[in-house]
């Protein structure tokens, strides 16, 4: 009989909401419970596929925010696996090392948690007599500036060797450097499969041997976009390995553009939005699709869309409500006035002012400092968890200030452009 296992990582159970734009209470609840529901689906998959083991390559928890309730949920799901005869192998990542309950939860006997010293555990003996060993090492602290690869034992001779490692490899955008090592070093170590964790985007780095980063099974905001999943691995009796990606995510975050070039009627714009939403939601495997829409293109509606932004949002939310599992997290405007692009067209005074603001005001150091000070003042009034979600670092705070300055200026100019209060309502 072959050895089959599911490889996952970076579940970040009960991770807090990372976007204040989730204003809808039902949507917020969907996202809040998505990491737990994703883990339930992983356990369901293991049982349905009758796998031998589940490998969790770090970051089950989400740091120091972890509650005992989270740990109890995890324990209950691991007992389900124990009852189905599925073994569990776990290594602790940087977030697990921060958790206050990591060492307090009592796990079923079928679950093995690797410690800070690498160890090889016999997982199964194949029909042909070849053994399968799982090797792993956990983070002892939240930081691992040096490679953990030297801690691993050599591969067991004549066996299939599977290594579990939480690592940033040589580094990746948006991820701190943890337990760095090169792909070449992993390949040269002699293991047949490396079950990695830490980077939230799936990538198969190599196939001979396999070096797999499964990605997280459930995204938390639009920066972790797309349907997420796990890797189902089969080791045949002769030691050959094959892998299949299995979608898991409960909610898929997506960025999408809606081109409304040359559309001059409000109703036509909404039809374009409806077609886009229906198309995206109709082809995804996730139960929920959470969209960040950006309206683009040259259109005579450009000023009206900014001026009547609340109406626009309400109408788009109404469209989304009519499509099962469809949610709109945010609507962004990147439209241009179609008239201003025609040769010889003279800008009206507000359009001239808008051009001046874009060219001279927004890039000005003094303006940016004033906006940043205002944003910092607002941030200080927020609860710590929301402040961390909006501006976790200096770069994010600066980006937030730039977006606030640009969007605020555009909204004021749109209202200055005039037109009846009810214009655009159909």
> Which CATH number characterizes residue 82's domain?
3.60.21.10
| Rounded distance between C-alpha atoms, residue 212 and residue 241, angstroms | 12
The answer, yes or no, to whether residue 101 has pLDDT greater than 90, is: no
Domain assignment of residue 329, given as a range? 251-416
320-375 tens-digit pLDDT: 999 999 999 899 999 888 755 555 555 556 555 555 666 666 677 777 788 778 87
Q: Domain check: are 57 and 96 in the same one? A: yes
Q: Indicate if the pLDDT at residue 14 is higher than 90.
A: no
Q: Are residues 258 and 380 in the same domain?
A: yes
Indicate the average pLDDT of the chain. Answer: 84
Give me the pLDDT at residue 170, please: 77
Is 114 a domain residue?
Answer: yes
Give the pLDDT score at 401: 74
Indicate whether 386 belongs to any domain.
yes
Tens digit of each residue's pLDDT (9 = 90 or more) over 247-272: 997 999 999 999 999 999 999 999 99
Residues 283 and 302 occupy one common structural domain: yes
242 plus 255 within the same structural domain: no
Same domain, 175 and 267: no
- Residue 422 within any structural domain of the chain: no
Q: Are residues 50 and 122 in the same domain?
A: yes
For residues 81 and 219, state if they share a domain.
yes
pLDDT at position 179: 75
Answer yes or no: is 424 within a domain: no
Are 97 and 185 contained in the same domain? yes
Three-state SS letters, the chain: CCEEEEEECCCCCCCCCCCCCCCCHHHHHHHHCHHHHHHHHHHHHHHHHCCCEEEEECCCCCHHHCCHHHHHHHHHHHHHHHHCCCEEEEECCHHHHHCCCCCCCCCCCCEEECCCCCEEEEEEECCCCCEEEEEECCCCCCCCCCCCHHHCCCCCCCCEEEEEEECCCCCECCECCCCCCCHHHHHHCCCCEEEEECCCCCEEEEECCEEEECCCCCCCCHHHCCCCEEEEEEECCCCCEEEEEEECCCEEEEEEEEECCCCCCHHHHHHHHHHHHHHHHHHCCCCEEEEEEEEEEEECCHHHHHHCHHHHHHHHHHHHHCCCCEEEEEEEEEEEECHHHCCCCCCCHHHHHHHHHHHHHCCCHHHHHHHHHHHHHHHHCCCHHHHHHHCCCHHHHHHHHHHHHHHHHHHHHHHHCCCCCCCCCC
Between 5 and 423, the more confident residue is: 5
Interstrand relation of 251-259 and 111-113 (parallel, antiparallel or unpaired): unpaired
Q: Is residue 426 part of a domain?
A: no
Assess whether 376 and 351 both reside in one domain.
yes
């Amino acid at each position: 009989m072959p050895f089959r296992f599911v490889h996952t990582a970076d579940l970040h159970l009960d991770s807090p909401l990372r976007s204040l734009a989730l204003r809808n209470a039902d949507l917020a609840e969907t996202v809040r419970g998505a990491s737990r529901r994703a883990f339930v689906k992983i356990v369901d998959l293991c049982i349905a596929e009758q796998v031998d083991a589940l490998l969790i390559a770090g970051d089950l928890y989400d740091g120091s925010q972890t509650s005992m309730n989270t740990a109890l949920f995890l324990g209950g799901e691991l007992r389900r696996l124990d009852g189905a005869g599925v073994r569990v192998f776990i290594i602790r990542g940087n977030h697990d090392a921060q958790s206050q309950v990591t060492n307090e939860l009592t796990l079923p006997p079928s679950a093995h948690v690797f410690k800070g010293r690498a160890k090889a555990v016999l997982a199964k003996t194949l029909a042909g007599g070849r053994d399968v060993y799982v090797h792993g090492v956990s983070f002892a602290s939240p930081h691992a500036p040096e490679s953990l690869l030297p801690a691993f034992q050599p591969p067991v001779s004549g066996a299939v060797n599977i290594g579990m490692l939480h690592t940033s490899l040589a580094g990746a955008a948006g991820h701190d450097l943890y337990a760095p090592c090169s792909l070449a070093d992993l390949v040269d170590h002699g293991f047949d499969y490396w079950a990695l964790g830490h980077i939230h985007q799936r990538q198969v780095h190599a196939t001979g041997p396999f070096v797999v980063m499964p990605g997280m099974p459930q995204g938390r905001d639009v920066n972790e976009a797309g349907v997420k999943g796990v890797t189902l691995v089969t080791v045949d009796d002769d030691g050959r390995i094959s892998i299949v990606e299995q979608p898991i995510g409960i909610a898929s975050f997506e960025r999408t553009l809606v081109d409304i070039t040359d559309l001059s009627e409000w109703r036509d714009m909404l039809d374009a939005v409806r077609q886009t939403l229906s198309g995206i939601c109709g082809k995804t495997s996730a139960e929920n699709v959470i969209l960040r829409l950006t309206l683009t293109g040259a259109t005579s509606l450009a000023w009206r869309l900014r001026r009547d932004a609340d109406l626009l949002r309400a109408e788009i939310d109404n469209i989304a409500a009519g499509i099962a599992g469809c949610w709109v997290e945010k609507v962004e405007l990147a439209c241009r006035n179609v008239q201003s692009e025609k040769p010889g067209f003279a800008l009206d005074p507000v359009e001239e002012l808008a051009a001046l603001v874009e060219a001279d005001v927004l890039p000005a150091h003094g303006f940016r400092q004033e906006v940043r000070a205002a944003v910092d003042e607002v941030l200080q009034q927020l609860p710590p968890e929301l402040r961390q979600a909006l501006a976790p670092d200096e770069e994010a705070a600066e980006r937030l200030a730039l977006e606030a300055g640009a969007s605020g200026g555009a909204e004021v100019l749109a209202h200055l452009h005039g037109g009846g209060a009810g214009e655009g309502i159909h």
